[in-house]
Structure 1
Amino acid sequence: MSSFLKMVLSLFFFLLMRLFAEIGASQDVCKVSRCSHHGPAIRFPFRLKDQPHHCGYPGFEISCTENKQTILELPYSAKLSVKKINYKSQEIVVYDSDFCLQRQLHNLTLSASPFDFKLHSYYTLEDFTFFNCSSSKTEYKNLFWPIPCSFLPSNPVLAVRSNMDLDQLDLSSCHKIYNVSLLYDIVEFGKNHFSFTWSESICGECERQGKKCRLKSNTSKEPETECVEKPAKELKEKIDSQFHSFCLILGFFLLVFVVITLYYVYNSNKLDGENTRKIEKFLEDYRALNPSRYSYVDIKKITNHFKDKLGQGGYGSVYKGKLSNEVLVAVKMLNDSKGNGEEFINEVGTMSRIHHVNVVRLVGFCADGVKRALIYEFLPNESLEKFIFSTSIKNHSLGWEKLQDIAVGIAKGIEYLHQGCEQRILHFDIKPHNILLDQNFNPKISDFGLAKLCSKEQSAISMTAARGTMGYIAPEVISRNFGNVSYKSDVYSFGMLLLEMVGGRKNIDVTVENTSQVYFPEWVYTQLDQREEVHIRIEEEGDTKIAKKLTIVGLWCIQWYPIDRPSMKVVVQMLEGTRDNLTMPPNPFASIGPTRTNIKRPKKSLQQELTVVPELD
C-alpha cells in the first residue's frame, strides 16, 4: 500500500473518530438507560451506579448485573430485582430473583430509604415473628405460615403474627429468629413481588406537568428538585431525522470510500501478492524437497503404509508417496541385506551434491536400524525402458524429435556429473531403466548406487571389481587391456543406450529372424558404412536424419578403446548440431570379430591418454 493512501486512510479514520466522539460528548450523560432491551427505563430520579450523582436523587441508585438484570440497592445490603418503574404513579415493582423475599427483607429498615411499601385496602403491612422449629405445626396451620424458601441450613421456618398470644401456641420445639414488618400477602400467599412508592415531592409535580425533573444546582444540604421544559416534540423529531440522515450519508460515504480503497489496494498489490504467493509456495516446496532424514514411521506415513507400489528390482521395491498436497515422491525401500550399506551411503553421499534439471532429485532418506530408504521426486512417466522396449505401437508415440530431446537431456545430465560438480561423478550404470521421465518427458538420470567420485583434475580411477549392467559395461571396466577406467566408461554406456533408443530394442536380441541383426550396433554400423537404408521405425522423411544422427553419435560413443570416444561435452555438441557435420566413426567391432568393413582407426586420438588415480569413496 502506498504511503499516500496510508496517510489518507489515517486522516479519514481520525476525523471519523473525532466526529463520533463529539456526537457522544454532545449526548446527555444523564440520558435514559436500560440494563437490557426489555428492562425498565432508568431516568431521574433513578440513576445508574456509574452515572454522575447529579443524574439521580439520593437513594435512587440502580445497578446492572452481568446477566443484564436491573437491581435496586436498598439499605443494609438488600438487593431486589426491578420488574417495572411507573414514573407517573411513582411506583417501582420489585421481586427477588431467588424467590425468597422473606430472607431479603428481614432486616430492611425503610426509614433509611426514600421508599415505602405500597399498601392496599385489603392487604396491609403487618408485624410478623419468624420461628425456626424442629417439627411442623400442623395443628396450628391457621396460625403458623410456612416460609416457602429455605434460608436456614436446617428445620423449617414458620411465621406468626406478632400480636398473637404466644402462650396459646406450643413453641417447645421452636426458637425465635427475628421480627419483621411485611405485607400480609407476601407471608400468607408467598407472593414474590410487591411495590414500593416514593414521595410525591420528588418529581411528582413535574410528571403531572409533562416536564423534565432534575436536581437543583444549589448548595443546600437537603437535595431539592426542579422542573424544566422538555424539548418540543417536533424539534426532537427533526433532530432525530437529521441525525438519522447524517448517519445514512456518513455510512454511504464510508462504504464508497472503503470500496474505492479496497479496489486501489487490490490493483496496486495484485502483482506483489502473486509474487509473494509464488515465493511462499516455492519455499514450502523447497523445504519439502530439501534432503532430510526421516524415520521409518515417517516413511510409512508418507507411503500410506506402502499402499501404492510402483515397481520392484534387485535393490528392493519402490512406492508412491506424498509429502504434501503439492509434493509427490517415490520411495525406494532397500532390501535388508549387507550390500545395501555401501550402495545407500554411495547414493545419499553422491546425490546430495547434485542439482541439475536432468538428474533426479533426492528429497530425503531413511536410516532407521536395518530399515533404509531413499526418497526421490516423483516422475509420473516412469523409465525410458518402458517406451523404447515395449512392443506396443502406442508406447512409440514419443516420436523422433522427442527421442532426440531425451537424448540431449541425458547427455547434458552426464556432462554435468563429469564437469559440473566439485568432484567428478562417474555413474557406472547408465541404461534405459535408470532414465526416468517427468510429466513433460524430460529425462532425469537416477540410481547412483554404483557411482564413484574422483578429482576433476584426474580422469581415471582404479577399481577392484567390475560394476554396472551387462550390455552397457565398457570393455575397460572388465579388462584393463583396453585402457583405464574413467569418465569415458559412462560415455560407452550412453552410446549403448542411444543405439537402443534408435533400434527400439535391446542391442542383443536373439529373437530376430535375421541372424545378422542379433547384435544391433554392429548391424547398424554395417548398414551405414555401406550406405544402405537402416530399416527401423521411420514414419516421416525428417525422422531419418534424426535416426542417423543418433546412430552415428552412439557409434562414436561405443568405440572399443576409451581414447577414441568423445567427451560428453563433445557428445552434446554433436547431438545439438546438424547431421552434415558428423562423420562415420572407426569400426568399433574390428578387434572383436570379423566384419564387412575395414578398420578406420584415426591417426590422432580424440583424447590424450588417461592417468590412473585412486577412486574417492
Structure 2
Amino acid sequence: MATASSDESFFQNCPASNCREGGPEIRFPFRLETSPPSCGAPGMKLRCSKEADTILVHPNLGLCKVIAIEYRYRFIDVIPLGASKCPLQKIISTNLSTDVYRPYGDYATLVSCSTEFRPRNQDRVAGPISCLSNTSQFPYLVSSFQPMDVIPLDCMVVSNDLRIPYVLNNERIVLFNNETAEVTIAFGKMSFRWSVPNITNVCQDCEIGGRPCGFRSETRQAFCKKHRSHVKVIAATSSVAMILFASVIVAAALYLALKSRYNEEIHLKVEMFLNTYSTSKPTRYTFSEVKKITRRFNNKLGQGGFGSVYKGELSNGVPVAVKVLENSKGEGQEFINEIATIGTIHHANVVRLLGFCSEGSRRALIYEFMPNASLEKYIFSQASDTFCQEKLIPNRMLEIATGIAKGIEYLHQGCKQRILHFDIKPSNILLDYSFKPKISDFGLAKLCAKDQSIVTLTAARGTMGYIAPELYSRNFGTVSYKSDVYSFGMVVLEMMSGQSSSDPQTENKNDVYIPEWVYEKIITGQELELSREITQGEKDIMRKLAIVALWCIQWNPVNRPSMTKVVNMLTDSLQSLKLPPKPFVSSFG
C-alpha cells in the first residue's frame, strides 16, 4: 500500500526540470534520459542537446526539437531536425504513429493542381508549396473542413490524413488557419498526442485540476500530488498583510511566467528560421565566444534602436563590430532579417555579416569593422569640422553616391530574391578604410520576388525624413523597390547640403526645405554654394548629383528611375541628363 511519504518522495527524486531557462518544463510522464527510468513513462524519454534544446528521439522521424509540451491537453509540439529543405516531404513519406505517439491537430488535405491560383484570405488554404512545386504541379494544403469548391477543378488529392498543429490562444484551441499551415510547410512543425495505459488519463485529470502527476512503482499506477492543508489561526492584521504579500508574489510570478513564455516564443521563432537557413548562414558563435571577441564588451562604439555595438577581434586578428541585440526589441525579427538578407550575399557596397550568436534570449550579430564610421558623421559635421569638410569633397560625394547606388541596385536586381531595405539613411551607410560606402542595418528589410511590382506592408517602415510618400499614404502610389530609390535621393541631397532634409510639414515654416531649395537652384541655373571654393568640374559634379537626387525623390513612384538607371545617370555626362519635374506637390512657404 502506498503511503503519503512514498508519494512525496517521488517528487523529491523526480523534480521538474528543463534544458534551458524558459524552455519546456519536463515532468512526469516525461523524463530526461539522465533521470531514473521510474521518473517517466515508457517511451517518453527526452534529452538536452549541446545547445540546451529539448530533444525528442522519434523512432521513425529521428531527432526532433521540442517546442512546447501541453500537459493538460496531452500534446507535444516538435520540429524535425536536419538539413531538409522540404520538411513537408519528410512528413508525408514517414509513418509518424508509434506505440506512444500519434499525430495530433486539425485534419488537412494535400492537393496538387495543374495551374497556380491565389487562395482568398478567408479560405483555409495554404500554398502553393514551393519546395514540392514544378512547372506542371502546384501543391496546396486545404483544411479538411473547407468545402472543396474553393479550389480549381484541376486539383487532385495527394494525401488526406495530414495534421496541422493546434495553437493555444488564451486557453482556446485555434484550428487550421493559413499562419499555422505555413509554419508546418516551412519548418515541419507538428504535434503528437501521447498515450500510455494506466497513466495518460490519470495524469491529464491531475493537470486539469492543477496538480502534478506522479507514479507508484509498486502498483504501476499514476497518481495526483495531494494539496497541502495546514490551517493556522492568526490575527486579522496579519491576515491582511499575508494576503497583500501573497498578491505581490503571485503578480511577480505571473509576470515572470509570461515574460519567460514570450522570450521562448521569440527564441522558437529565431531557431525555426536558423534551422531553415542551416546550409547558407554565416558562422555561429556561443555567447561566451562573443564575450571573448569583444573582450567582455569593453569598447562600445555606439547605441542603436535595437541594441549596442562593440568593437571586437576574431581569433585570426580580423577586427569586427558586434551588435548585441536587446531581446525586448523587435521580437527577433531584426535578427532574422539580417541573416536572411546580408547573411547570404556578398557585394563590395554591402557590409558583410561574418557571424552571429543565438543562445536563449541572447543574440548578437558580427560584422566586418568599418573604421571611418558612418556617412552621417561627415554630413552633419561639415560646418564645424574642417577634417570632415576635407573628406566630403564633390569627387568623393560622387564616389560615395555611386557606391551606394550600386549596392542598392544589387539588392534589387542581383540576388535570387529582391531585397528591399526600407531604411536607407546616412547612419546606415558605413565607410571603410578607403571611404568606400557599404549599406548596413537590414532590420527593416523585406524579401520579395523580382517580378513582384507591389509590396504589402502592415505599417510604414523607415526613418522620418527618408520615408517615401507612398509608405505614409497609398494615395501617392504603391509600395515597391522605388521606395528605396526615394530614400537614396534624400541621402544624396543631405550629403550635398550638409543639412537635414526633414519633411517640410513637420518643421518650422521659416526653415529651408532642402529639396525645394535645391530644385529652385537647378531650375534657375544657380550654383550650389559650398563652404569653400570649388572648380568648374566640381560644380558640374554637384549639379549632376542634384539632378539625379531630384529624379529619385519624385513623389510619384512611377516617375522615379530604377537603381540601374541611377547608376547610369551618375556615370554618364552632365549634358546627357534631363532636368526633372518638380518632385513635391507644392511649396510650403
Bigger Cα Rg:
1
TM-score, L = length of structure 1:
0.48
TM-score, L = length of structure 2:
0.50
